[in-house]
Amino acid sequence: MTAVSGAEGYRERIGTALAGSWRFAGLHATAGGTAVRVLLAAPDGSTRLESVAAERATAPSIVDLVPAAAWDEREAHDLQGVAFAGHDPLRPLVDHDPDLGRWTVPVRGHDPYEVAVGPIHAGVIESGHFRFHVVGDRILHLDIRLFYKHRGLERAAEGATLEQGMAYVGRACAACTVANGVAYAHACEEALGLRPTAELRRARTILLELERIWSHLNDIAAVCAGVGLAAGNTRFAALTERARRLNAALTGHRFLFRTVAVAGSALALGPDELRAAREELTALREEAASGWRELAFNASFQDRLPEIGVVAAAAARRLGTTGPAARAAGVREDVRAASPRLAYDGFVAVVPERATGDVQARFEQRALELWQSFTLLDALLEHPLGPAVAERSDAERELGVGRVESPRGATSCVVERRGDRIERLRLRTGSYASWPAVAHAAADDLLPDFPLINKSFELCYACTDR
Amino acid sequence: MLTLLRDLRRLRSGLALPRPERPGSLAIRHVDAGSCNGCEHELVLTSSPHYDLQRFGLGLVASPRHADVLLVTGTVTTRMREPLLTAYRAMPEPRRVAALGDCALGCHPLGTASELVGPVDALFPVDLRIPGCPPTPDAIAAALLELLDRPAGRRLGRT
Ligand code: SF4
């Protein structure tokens, strides 16, 4: 149950919490920008919200306490009109109208120049703009401007019923539709005083792990593409295709669209489907393992991966990096380890032996998590699954929080409601949390290495932009 | 490495779409105008061994100046309007436009009206419509091959 507190001592309470074991998990302004709320999460899975009134549309900034809150405050300024005292300069994030000088960091010195890339990129890539400040080929600093795909999904969902809200969350991003959907469902259910039954927990966990499997297969293919290793890329692209076909066989949709609902699940899997699915997963695992071995022994490929795009543990913590990118730096944090609303009992997060936070470590991390997901799914698919519901457990309340480990890290959803309608919806995805780490990773490396560095994160633009 | 290549050869001969005799080629420039990334993920797989669209002379190219077809995904957002128009104007004639996915076609748009321009045909004429959310790689492949078979230069789109 998320604890909610407000009024006096906002900054002090947050400072004390962060000095303990609490972690920053998101900040948003309420509808109309009258208050600001900070979501904190503890390793045991508990969450709490700290609020402060935005008097005369200004709230105290917390970026000095948590640099990871920088994007959230910039977004709250651009979308809800809240200023943050102490956040200076408060650069625009979602607002694209201000001049270049307002949103880029000034770079001075001998011979620096700017290389502007995007929003349209050379391949089939989502739209976003990268502005590199370089000397020769060396990147001094990278300013990332996203939100080209901002559709105003959160605002559009305001006034919709909790049930209707799922459409906005589900279509925010195809690669995270399940993770976002489950985070939203958990938030709604907490507000409604509902708890998922064991069957519902299992249904959602199956969907989350199916999503992770196709996603991580895709990410391994993407790193191969980043290096130009066509054989590795096509091998893992073929496995991604098969994982999507498996999704379609189990749920009727290759990306698992519309499989997550508030307060229930319609997913039913009989013994024959389960047998076929487990066989296919075993085959996929064996073929992925054989492809992975080939990559491991390909020296010219492996030579390209170490010591570039480094995000070490201290930087990952400071920037609020999450998911595989943080674990690859040795930060052993994974929401799955404390998810009582899901079926992850006994889950322990993995990190690579060589957890240096470079491209190689992030690449390796995908494989480690992939093997883990195959094992999890094999057990989850042992028994037939029927439609399931959530049951009453607590009193209803105005506000609910959900947190889920998406393939790209911790995703938090806050739902504030009035009756059965959404008053404010905030979806802060693993990608959103980790984008600042991409800029950090690029600094000091060579410009031609950036595509590979970016692929080693493979973050979504769609659910960041919303 | 040899194992990888052997696997790929097996995949290509066992799984890929049959290749009928088909002359010609199309260079395709993709632009994401505000998608959920689902259409992109399926488009990427049209070059995977199961479909391997390159064999039909269909290739994704980096520059609109090299492109015959502009393939657009997503409901066009206000922020992508200008970049999309720039890509369109950079293309040589005759140029064709394909709208990939329900969002690009204007079915069930989601979002705040002031952040969205609308479907692709709100900006310029669309020659090929590929419905689906997202369309499967099969459907994308079939639609693009149909475009390849159409007589060229039937209409010259202009802004
Ligand atoms: S059509 Fe569907 S898959 Fe494609 S961008 Fe729109 S919501 Fe995403």
Q: What is the pLDDT of residues A218-240, one digit of tens each?
A: 999 999 999 989 899 999 999 99
Residue nearest to atom 5 of ligand 1 (CA): B35
Residue A379 counted as domain residue: yes
**Angstrom distance (rounded) from CA A307 to CA A289:** 24
Strands (E), A42-162: 47-53, 58-60, 83-85, 113-117, 129-135, 138-145
Q: How many helices (H) and strands (E) does chain B have?
A: 5, 7
Read off φ and ψ for residue A440, nearest 5 degrees.
-60, -45
**pLDDT tens digits along A404-457:** 999 999 999 999 999 999 999 999 999 999 999 999 999 999 999 999 999 999
CB-nearest partner of B36 from A174, A231, A291: A174
What CATH number corresponds to the domain at position B76? 3.40.50.12280
Contacts of A264 (CB under 8 A, 6+ apart): A200, A387, A388, A389, A390
Q: Which residue has the least CA distance to atom 6 on ligand 1? A: B103
The pTM score is 0.94
At B71-86, the pLDDT tens digits run 999 999 999 999 999 9
What is the extent of the structural domain holding B116? Answer: 27-149
**Structural domain contains residue A327:** yes
* List of chain B residues whose C-beta atoms are within 8 Å of the C-beta of residue A126: 32, 35, 37, 40
Residue B14 has pLDDT above 70, yes or no: no
Look up the domain containing A331 and give its range. Answer: 182-421
A252, A395: one domain: yes
Same domain, A80 and A109: no
Residues with CB under 6 A from ligand 1: A 171, 174; B 35-36, 38-39, 73-74, 101-103, 133-134
Q: Nearest Cβ partner of B48 from A124, A167, A238?
A: A238
**Mean pLDDT calculated for residue range A241-260:** 97
d(C-alpha A296, C-alpha A374), whole Å = 20
Reported confidence tier of residue A3, pLDDT bands at 50, 70, 90: low
A112 shares its domain with A242? no
- For a substitution probing ligand 1, which of B32, B35, B76, B130 has the most ligand atoms within 8 Å of its CB? B35
Q: Which atom of ligand 1 is nearest to the CA of B132?
A: 1
Here the CATH number for the domain that contains residue A219 is 1.10.645.10
- Taking only the tens place, the pLDDT of each residue in A111-170 is 898 999 989 998 899 999 999 999 999 999 999 999 999 999 999 999 999 999 999 999
| CATH assignment of the domain containing A80 | 3.30.460.80
B42 to chain A, minimum CA–CA distance in Å?
A: 9
Q: H-type helices in A85-196, by residue range?
A: 100-103, 153-157, 162-170, 177-192
**B1 or B156: which leads in pLDDT:** B1
Residues A369 and A349: their CA atoms lie apart, in Å, by 9
**Ligand 1 atom nearest to CA at B101:** 1
Q: Which residue of A has its CA nearest to B102?
A: A171
Please name which of B41, B17, B143, B91 lies closest in space to residue A460, comparing C-alpha atoms: B41
- pLDDT the model gives residue B132: 96
Predicted confidence at residue B21, as pLDDT, reads 67
How many C-beta atoms lie closer than 10 Å to residue A189's C-beta? 25
Output Rg (C-alpha) for chain B, integer angstroms: 16
pLDDT at A100: 87
List pLDDT tens digits, range B57-72: 888 999 999 999 999 9
> Any idea how long chain B is?
159
Q: Measure A171 CA to ligand 1 centroid, in angstroms.
A: 7
**% chain B with pLDDT above 70:** 87
| Per-chain mean pLDDT for chain A | 94
A3, part of any domain: no
Q: If you average pLDDT over residues A258-274, what whole number do you get? A: 95
Please state, in angstroms and rounded to a whole number, the distance separating the CA atoms of residues A50 and A287. 48
